[in-house]
Amino acid sequence: MVIFKVITPEEAYDAINVPVLGLLFGTMVVSIYLERADMFKDLGVLFSWKSWGAKDMLCRICIVSAISSALFTNDTACFFLTEFILKIARENNIRPEPFLLGLASSSNIGSSATPIGNPQNLIIAIQSGISFGEFVLGLLPAVLVGVFVNALILICMFWRLLSDVKEEEDALDELIVQEDSESGPQQSAEESKGQLNRWKRLSWKLCIYLGTVGMLVAFLMGVDMSWTALTTALIFVILDFKDAGPCLEKVSYSVLVLFCGMFITVDGFNRTGIPSSFWNLMEPHARIDHASGIAVLAIVILVLSNVASNVPTVLLLGAKVVASATAISPSEEKKAWLILAWVSTVAGNLSLIGSAANLIMCEQALRAHPSYTITFWSHLKFGVPSTLIVTAIGLALVY
Q: What is the pLDDT of residues 112-149, one digit of tens each?
A: 999 988 889 988 998 888 889 999 999 999 999 999 99
Cα distance between residue 349 and residue 398, in whole Å: 19
Query: Is residue 170 in some structural domain?
Result: yes
Return the pLDDT at 164.
Answer: 67
Average pLDDT over residues 315-319: 87
Average pLDDT over residues 8-34: 89
CB 71 within 8 A of CB 107: no
Domain assignment of residue 163, given as a range? 9-397
- Out of 172-181, 224-233, 387-396, pick the least confident: 172-181
Query: Is residue 147 in some structural domain?
Result: yes
Q: Which pLDDT band holds residue 187 (cuts at 50, 70, 90)?
A: very low
Average pLDDT over residues 45-69: 81
Q: How many folded domains does the chain comprise? A: 1
Query: Is residue 3 in some structural domain?
Result: no
pTM score, whole prediction? 0.78
Cα distance between residue 6 and residue 314, in whole Å: 21
Query: Is residue 4 in some structural domain?
Result: no
Q: Is the pLDDT of residue 394 over 60?
A: yes
Cα distance between residue 233 and residue 358, in whole Å: 27
Q: What angle do CA 72, 309, 374 make, to 5 degrees?
A: 75
Query: Is residue 376 in some structural domain?
Result: yes
Query: Is residue 249 in some structural domain?
Result: yes
